[in-house]
Amino acid sequence: MTETAQAPAGRCPVAHQPTEQLFDEGYFANPYPLYDRLREEGPAHKVTAPDGSTVWLVTRYADVRQGLADQRLARHPKYNRDGYTGIPLPDDLRVMLATTDPPHHTRLRSLINAAFTRRRIESLRSRVNEVVDGLLDDMAAGDGRADLVTALAAPLPITIICDLLGIPETERGTFRSYTDAIVGTDAERSAQGCRDMVAFLKRMIALKRTEPDDALITGLIEARDQDDRLTESEMVGMGFMILIGGYDTTLSMISSGALALLRDPDRMAELRSHPERMTAAVEELLRFEAPVQNAIRRFATEDLVIGGVDIPAGSAVVLSIGSAGRDPRQYECPAQLDFERQETTHVSFGFGPHFCPGAQLGRMEVAVSLQKLIARFPELAPADDSLRYRPGFTFRELSTLPVTF
Ligand code: HEM
């Protein structure tokens, strides 16, 4: 039990006004000082999120981990009494992994889990190696300068997701343009991107009915047609979730992982001389710079107490994974990278029923990318300090990472 879990119900005060503007440019550039402050001030804070909605932000590791698995924190918007509606989603995206709870969610998860078996992911390893080699060849052929986001971190996951779903080569440009719109910061474009993507996925489903292959969309169709297990909308939602779940996250981890190593020459040298430590390094980098900084919002299905703070039923609750990874109650010297850290139970892939189904794939893509990158470019260095992060509350993501080599 931690200090937080032992606190008596209802006693911890909320130390600041919800109207305070906490999530500004400084936060996007470096969220950790704010988390440090909030964690010390209290375990849960009523704050105004960047989109203007009011949420309870939970900051301490033990509470975040517990909250991720707590069935009383539901995803379904019907529990929301805070008035937040978010980006208007097309009807076909109303029921998907992100917006359902057990038992409906369990049914959807069993299908996606079947698609993400360890064997299937391992079978993608040679493809990941091949794609990374090709991207690094292109980079090496340039003038000794590159943006690691556009050269490696973005094209790798999108290529692998397209392979996984079975998107034909000729359609990948279109797929990519919709993806970029969806994950962008313009709400209008994002909503349009969602509508376009739904139409696109429906077209792909129709195509795979006439031209089946051994990729995931065909697998989902077969699961549906044999057992009547998935509706058309559920299939669209599944494709959509894989895309949203697997793109920004992996992009973010490859780029911020590379940056963290570039900023810490000792750890970079350690990995160069001990490449076998890469597996441990990826876990530590996930703790250190969680791509999903703040988990998808949940809603309290009843009055509950988190870390001693009363949360009324219907409240929106955001569990801060980024803050949990830097909690000194859980990790010694959390602002330091340590590949031999004993405490490795990070929650950067979530915890509980929504635990990331793509965790093994994400880990593999990040490990292969970083391993090959540092082996191939011994002189790799940041080109300048003008780094920009996309303004976002859920994802922490570099817009560019200029390097020389
Ligand atoms: C380093 C890479 C990745 C990270 C850090 C990551 C992180 C996460 C986290 C934290 C969640 C849970 C969010 C919550 O509970 O609020 C999640 C869910 C999910 N992720 Fe990942 N992810 C990564 C890669 C991937 C990949 C490669 C895929 C698929 C190709 C994927 C697909 C999904 C899906 C479909 C969900 C929703 C699961 C559900 O709600 O049941 N992720 N991911």
Is 153 touching ligand 1 by the criterion CB < 6 Å?
Answer: no
CA separation for the pair 286, 325 (Å, rounded): 8
Cα dihedral sign for 27, 29, 31, 32?
negative
Sheet of 402-404, strand order: 145-147, 402-404, 381-382
Q: Which of 128, 356, 361 for a ligand 1 pocket mutation test, highest count of atoms within 8 Å of Cβ?
A: 356
Cα dihedral sign for 313, 71, 316, 99?
negative
CA separation for the pair 367, 359 (Å, rounded): 12
Which residue ranges form the domains of the chain, and what is each CATH number? 3-404 (1.10.630.10)
Task: Of 135, 151, 120, 121, give the one whose Cα is nearest residue 364.
Answer: 121
For position 226, what pLDDT does the model report?
Answer: 57
Ligand 1 centre to CA of 242 (Å) is 8
Cβ(253)–Cβ(366) under 8 Å?
Answer: yes
Cα dihedral sign for 84, 89, 93, 97?
negative
pLDDT in tens, 336-356: 999 999 887 999 999 999 999
- pLDDT tens, N- to C-terminus, the chain (405 residues): 233 333 334 444 444 555 677 888 899 999 999 999 999 999 999 999 888 889 999 999 999 999 999 999 999 989 998 777 777 788 888 888 999 999 989 988 988 887 788 887 888 999 999 999 999 999 999 999 999 999 999 999 999 999 999 999 999 888 888 888 887 767 788 889 999 999 999 999 999 999 999 888 988 888 765 555 678 898 999 999 998 899 999 999 999 999 999 999 999 999 999 999 999 999 999 999 999 999 999 999 999 999 999 999 999 999 999 999 999 999 999 999 999 998 879 999 999 999 999 999 999 999 999 999 999 999 999 998 778 898 888 999 999 999 999
Q: Within 13 Å and on the Cβ side, how many CA atoms surround 134?
A: 9
DSSP run (H or E) holding 48: strand 44-48
Q: What is the DSSP letter of 103?
A: T
pTM: 0.93
pLDDT in tens, 129-187: 999 999 999 999 999 999 999 999 999 999 999 999 999 999 988 888 888 888 776 77
CA separation for the pair 277, 363 (Å, rounded): 13
Is 253 touching ligand 1 by the criterion CB < 6 Å?
Answer: yes
Pairing of strands 316-319, 54-58: parallel
Is 99 touching ligand 1 by the criterion CB < 6 Å?
Answer: no
Ligand 1 centre to CA of 248 (Å) is 10
Is 241 touching ligand 1 by the criterion CB < 6 Å?
Answer: yes
Is 250 touching ligand 1 by the criterion CB < 6 Å?
Answer: yes
For position 224, what pLDDT does the model report?
Answer: 61
CA separation for the pair 76, 92 (Å, rounded): 15
For position 15, what pLDDT does the model report?
Answer: 47
For position 158, what pLDDT does the model report?
Answer: 93
Ligand 1 centre to CA of 249 (Å) is 7
Q: Is 389 helix (H, G, I), strand (E, B) or coil?
A: strand
Is 368 touching ligand 1 by the criterion CB < 6 Å?
Answer: no
Task: Of 138, 104, 354, give the one whose Cα is nearest residue 234.
Answer: 104
For position 139, what pLDDT does the model report?
Answer: 97
CA separation for the pair 190, 194 (Å, rounded): 6
Ligand 1 centre to CA of 144 (Å) is 34
Q: What is the DSSP letter of 93?
A: G
Question: Could you give the angle at the alpha carbon of 151 between the alpha carbons of 150 and 152, nearest 5°?
Answer: 100
CA separation for the pair 348, 68 (Å, rounded): 11
DSSP letters along 110-142, please? Answer: HHHHHHT-HHHHHHTHHHHHHHHHHHHHHHHTS
Task: Of 405, 389, 301, give the one whose Cα is nearest residue 32.
Answer: 389
Tell me whether the omega of the peptide bond preceding residue 312 falls within 30 degrees of 0, making it cis: no
Is 354 touching ligand 1 by the criterion CB < 6 Å?
Answer: yes
